[in-house]
Amino acid sequence: MVKFIVKTRLRTSSTSRHNPARYNVSVKHNANHNELDSPENPPENPIDGFNDLAEVQSLRGQDTTKHPSFEHTQTNDALDQLISDAGGDPTSFNGALVRQMMHTALKLIRDDTDTGSLKIISRSMKELRYAMKVFAPYQSVRKISIFGSARTPEEHPDYQAAQAFAKLMADAGWMVITGAGDGIMRAGNGGAGREASFGVSIRLPFETNANEIIAGDPKLITFRYFFTRKLMFTSQSHAVTLFPGGFGTHDEGFEVLTLIQTGKSPMVPIVMVDYPAADGKPAGDYWKQWDEYVRGHLLAKGMISADDLNLYLVTDDIEEAHQYVQRFYSNYHSQRFVRDVLVIRMQRKLSEENLHALNGEFADLIKTGKIEQGAAMDEESEYLDMPRLKFVFAKRRYGHLRLLIDRINEMGAEGVS
């Protein structure tokens, strides 16, 4: 019955993607359409019809189950039944999001989406779902991604530095995420050990096998697409470390830098590590030369700002790299937005004197009002016992926001006076 209802609904609402009328925003809304899809009339929110108020109401336990465009249609009721049959609650916000995904999937049929595109969307969703399932039991454990060349031999000082660094992080209670291949990836898994390792592999016509340290482990995930793989790297990492590598290493490093520089990803520590000096031989200079290029070309020509240099550290000392990552979370815990308000969760409160100092030092980050300290906001549901800093963020100069976190950590070490 459910299948019949959904199929019938799609047939009556089908519109060819080649029909010019579909892009005419003056056309009246068809009662059989879920909404008027057109480039000139996009939904206000990627989650069609939902807004901040709906999210807040949902968190407070109020009913937001019915999409305003769908009303109480047979399709909506059928999807609600499917959610219930799968063990979900269609009256919850998560249930509403799942229903929205199903609606979006059904629209692909109405849009006459070609088979190749459907395969990409289907496979991508399958990959992300499975990867999130694998990572889910370890949400409370901090993780660091280690990037670097798959071609680095075991006897190379870069390999040995990566292995030693991974061991330092694992000994501190962290888990390590690598691409599961050879070279630096194998060094990262080897230093951390199998139990503290994730492998996020990619199917390639070469380099097809995972290294023996992570092979066969349930925490090894193999991806078809680079973009889904990189999404898991960035979404699951609390820190990023780069050792010398090729195009892939630079791609991953610049991806993280870009996401943080533009505010599309939460702030995390990023450190580039060259091998240390040893036995009378000088330290490596791979990332030192990279940094010189960034300063001499990108910064000198105005393509980045001086603040952006705060987003990363270059070092040839693995202990410094280790401490750089650890220090980032010495008082700072995490961040989130509640509408335009940036909420920074901390492990310890700041003194009033230090709070006043922050307002003076970082006034350029504040759009209106000031930085205030207090408890969790009504819309929050995580880490409710932690003190917060809250302010309306201007959403620019993320490199300066990085310095704000450094100051929070320095002040947190002083305690409340």
Rounded to whole angstroms, the Cα distance separating 36 from 135 reads 37
Tokens of 313: 């550290």
Contact predicate 408/344, CB 8 Å = yes
Domains and CATH numbers, the chain: 2-113 (no CATH), 133-327 (3.40.50.450), 330-414 (3.30.1360)
Cross-sheet strand order for the sheet of 388-393: 332-338, 341-346, 388-393, 366-374
Q: What is the pLDDT of residues 297-343, one digit of tens each?
A: 999 999 999 999 999 999 999 999 999 999 999 999 999 999 999 99
For residue 181, pLDDT beyond 90: yes
Contact predicate 241/271, CB 8 Å = yes
Looking at 289-383, which runs of residues are DSSP E strands?
313-315, 332-338, 341-346, 366-374
Q: What is the pLDDT of residues 58-114, one digit of tens each?
A: 433 444 444 444 444 788 889 999 999 999 999 999 999 999 999 999 999 999 999
Return the residue matching tokens 């009339």.
41
Give the contacts of 194 (CB within 8 A, at least 6 positions apart). 213, 214, 217
Contact predicate 196/170, CB 8 Å = yes
Instruction: Give the predicted TM-score (pTM) of the model.
Output: 0.81
Rounded to whole angstroms, the Cα distance separating 176 from 138 reads 12
pLDDT at 207: 61
Contact predicate 135/235, CB 8 Å = no
Q: In this structure, is the dihedral angle defined by the CA atoms of residues 348, 384, 270 and 211, taken in order, positive or negative?
A: positive
Rounded to whole angstroms, the Cα distance separating 28 from 333 reads 50
Contact predicate 316/158, CB 8 Å = no
pLDDT at 40: 36
Q: What is the pLDDT of residues 234-269, one digit of tens each?
A: 999 999 999 999 999 999 999 999 999 999 999 999
Rounded to whole angstroms, the Cα distance separating 244 from 274 reads 7
Mean pLDDT of the chain: 85
**How does DSSP classify residue 266?**
-
Tell me whether strands 388-393 and 341-346 are parallel, antiparallel or unpaired.
antiparallel
For 178, other C-beta atoms within 10 Å of its C-beta total: 33
Tell me whether strands 366-374 and 388-393 are parallel, antiparallel or unpaired.
antiparallel
Rounded to whole angstroms, the Cα distance separating 290 from 308 reads 15
For 89, other C-beta atoms within 10 Å of its C-beta total: 14
Contact predicate 197/213, CB 8 Å = yes
